Structure 1
Amino acid sequence: MDFDDTPDEAAWRAEVRAFLTAHRDEHAADPRAWQALLYDAGFVGVTWPADAGGRGGTPMQQAIVDQETARLGLPALINLIGIGMCGPTVIVHGSDDQKRRYLKRLLRADDLWCQLFSEPAAGSDLAALRTRAVRDGNGGWRVTGQKVWTTLAHLADYGILLTRTNADVPKHRGLTMFVVDMKAPGVTVRPLRQMNGESHFNEVFFDDVAIPDTERLGEPGQGWTVALTTLMNERLSLGGGGTGVGAKPETVARHVAERIGGLSPDRQVLARQQLGRGYVAALGARYTGYRQLSRISHGELPGPEASAGKLSGTRSARDLADLAVRVLGEDAAVAGGTWQNLQAVLPGMAIAGGSDQVLRNIIGERVLGLPAEPRVDKGAPA
């Protein structure tokens, strides 16, 4: 593992840090305007090809932008799903016309995007989805079905939509992906209230929604291949590059240190033990991310660190948030507090980008070489 920047990386970090420090107070007024400002400065879509509206830079340059953003406590970009998942899918599988119409506007947050994959009966087993797209006789498609847990669908202008177009073939081979206008007739978005009182997730209904064939991503029946492009980018974006998930362990340690004196001696011992375990786990996740960055910096492809980093990062973040809330004592009952809010959000993070169980299977099968889980329905029609 290499902890030091190369000279080029150090120069890039200095440029990014100077810009973010100079403009850090401008993010609060308008998240879209903040993203547009960063894009115009060359700090959004760093790794995207220049002909797709990006900078044509390296993954390490993007990681440095993410690190410096986290260091200053600045919020994530409002269109992070579009940048990390939807846009890369359009780059790989979209037509030249789609790339021209969508990508630059996505990077500047002129349009917000969402990812329409999960369904009530197709979460971890995504290929079991039932939302149907059928030919309409005029060269287009008609879509009927339901999606759920769709982040930011209530704000999105567009989304990438995975549908079933053939129910007579094995379920992985009967899927097709589209770009869908979230304001089109027949699209209904209903926010789902989370236990922290917010509504970032949504259920989305499609009632005979018309989609032109020009909005298809990839060939009919090749939607699973297209979806894998999205999922690989999602897992990498959530796997961490040393920035971690949730609160920084140093922040939790400071919070506990300020309040531990009010606990009984026995509770002080337990709090210190839990803090130690959580802190070590968080550092393990952080340095796993650094190992991934070292490989990227040397021109290598990232390995299983993304799945391992995401799995361990969410686990340690939940443990530290639980500890912080317990140390608060009676104050933990106050709704809307920072720690309580983080505690309520993190279970969703453990599902997004692959549930803990799915990630354990990936690590077991692809890293440890364990036998694959039985999948008796893999070759069966949906």
Structure 2
Amino acid sequence: MPSSLFTPLAAGALKLPNRVVMAPMTRNRAGADGVPGALMSQYYAQRATAGLIVTEGVGVSAVGAGPTGQPGLHTLEQVAGWTKVTDAVHEAGGRIVAQLSHHGRIAHPALLPDGVEPLAPSAVTALSDARTAHGLVAAVRPRAMGPEDIARTLDDFSDAARAAMDAGFDGVEVQGGNGYLIHQFLSDNANLREDGYGQDVPGRARFAVEAVRAVVRAVGAGRVGLRVSPGTGYNDAVEKDPAPLYGFLADILGSEELAYLHVVEGPDRALRAVLREHWNGVLISSPFTGEAPTDPGTARGLVEAGDADAVSFARHFAANPDLPERIRLGAPLNEPDPDTFHDGGAAGYTDFAVHRPSAV
């Protein structure tokens, strides 16, 4: 009998009561020091009926910091703030993992400690913008990472994973997509290295493999997921021939017995089939839908056909804290408000109503 969106799922050490996953969404509501506050606790706890919550990208170090309002996991204050979030989610019956992120060349000196330059595989400026306290600004030329930078950054990922466990998270997701640092190593246009971290498929995949393995050593494979976005072009990360690259990555990391692989699809939907063929574990799909939010019917079809084990929702989860129940009942969905996606307060963040079935 085919699985449905409401069939429980074991993903490594994570036990999901349903397959409606809350995707990571940049919301920029943390304090200036990257510490989550009470509003973030409320936001995540409201969405605790998700099979799994994946947080917004969480900075693994001050050097890899993202936009103003991004939370981190590299100070004691940040760990304390996240502990209140995970406590609230668990009290509401939910499961939550922290997405570990390093912005690499998408960072900006305005977001970093004084005198620190953005790091990247190669000194190639991204055709992208950085969100700062003064608005969007063009990315700058990064500094190419040397061996010490690479070793230190791998330690940052493993240290942040341990900090996530200290903060009460159920696991972590390594951000390997969306044009951030790991994706930059995978890409052709951001990675022009001529050493063992570039040149060919094994070289470009090496940093991703080492980052995942560093996190696995820190917290155990069953609590680690990996997110990738092959062929999407996000933040100017371009792969000329992604199928062999991501097939290789899935083959190599498949032996690690990770909790899951989270795939953000681009226009070439055949890449999902490539990863499904090469990945021997749980696969979470973030379907390509153009400008529209993920449709519950599409999600249901992917799971029932066996093309994915679970499906992640972003914009619908932003506007519908009780999304799994609405999908189960076929209830109307609130419309998200793009003007409130980034920055701000409760409006468009924690003020959406839950569905109230009509009395019979």
TM-score, structure 1 normalization:
0.23
The TM-score normalised by the length of structure 2 is 0.24
Structure whose residues are more often helix by fraction: 1
Larger Rg: 1 or 2?
Answer: 1
